[in-house]
Amino acid sequence: MSGHSKWASIKHKKAATDAKRGKAFTTVANMITIAAKEGGGDSTMNFKLRLAIDKAKAANMPSSNIDRAIKRGTGEGGGGQVEELKYEGYGADGVAILIDTVTDNKNRTSSEVRSTLTKNGGRMADAGAVAWVFDQQGQIVALDLSDEAQLTAIDAGADDVDMEDGKLFIYSPINSIKKIKDSLGEAGVKVESAEITYKPKNYVKVESKEKAEKLMKLIDALESLDDVTSVYANFDIPDDILENIG
């Protein structure tokens, strides 16, 4: 399986617990706000907003929170102005890390990201040093590994399909996400999620358990920051090591 699908699968396994629900709500609310700010508050006309709202509903976010996040983005609600910022860094063995954030205080967010990287064996990278490693594209996760599901996705515009942990990971151009999702739904295929992601062009194999644990600890620490919405990395950890990481 590709390193990317393995990483995507790990992210899906990080189910929201009660202790993390506040963080999950904060993250998705910020995604909604940015989407509304960029493309307006009508989700039928703003697909990025539609994806963010779907993610909010999957996290059981109340409708009132969703509406408030949309209004904040369109300028109708209170709160400070937010912006979307991307940071780049390195982890163990030179693993490339791309960090998406939404913030109302750039200095605070930059300081927190830099400090978290440094404290966990990573380091900040210059702008552009890491971004080139990743391609932005759509990712749809379906709970059906049948040939029919794969062909449906490909016919609807998917570039690639992969299987990991009993799920079908479908990669596509961003403008094909909706068509693929709708086509799968019409075919009776259950879609777990659909989002915009960053897929690495190449991978760094991490074959030491110690380095793998250090890397996962770093990524967990970054994801725990309030302003961080997503973290992407180009590691490939062998299954036998991954399964033994506590």
Q: What is the pLDDT of residue 21?
A: 58
Q: What is the pLDDT of residue 81?
A: 77
* Rounded Cα distance, 107 and 109, in Å: 6
- Beta-sheet strands, E only, within the chain: 83-90, 96-103, 123-124, 134-142, 160-164, 167-172, 191-200, 204-205, 228-233, 235-236
Q: What is the pLDDT of residue 141?
A: 92
Place of tokens 């960090």: 99
Residue 184 DSSP class: H
Q: What is the pLDDT of residue 59?
A: 83
For the chain, where do the domains classified as CATH 1.10.10.200 start and end? 12-74
Q: Which CATH architecture has domain 84-246?
A: 2-Layer Sandwich (3.30)
Q: What is the pLDDT of residue 28?
A: 86
pTM of the model: 0.83
Instruction: Give me the average pLDDT of each 10-residue run along the chain (246 residues).
Output: 56 48 78 91 91 88 92 78 91 93 92 97 94 94 93 95 88 94 94 89 90 90 89 87 73
Please, how many CA atoms are within 13 Å of residue 241, restricted to the half-sphere of its CB?
Answer: 17
Q: What is the CATH number of domain 12-74?
A: 1.10.10.200
Q: What is the pLDDT of residue 100?
A: 93
For the chain, where do the domains classified as CATH 3.30.70.980 start and end? 84-246
Q: What is the pLDDT of residue 245?
A: 73
**Identity of the amino acid at 26:** T
Q: Identify which of 35, 29, 34 has the alpha carbon closest to the alpha carbon of residue 66.
A: 29
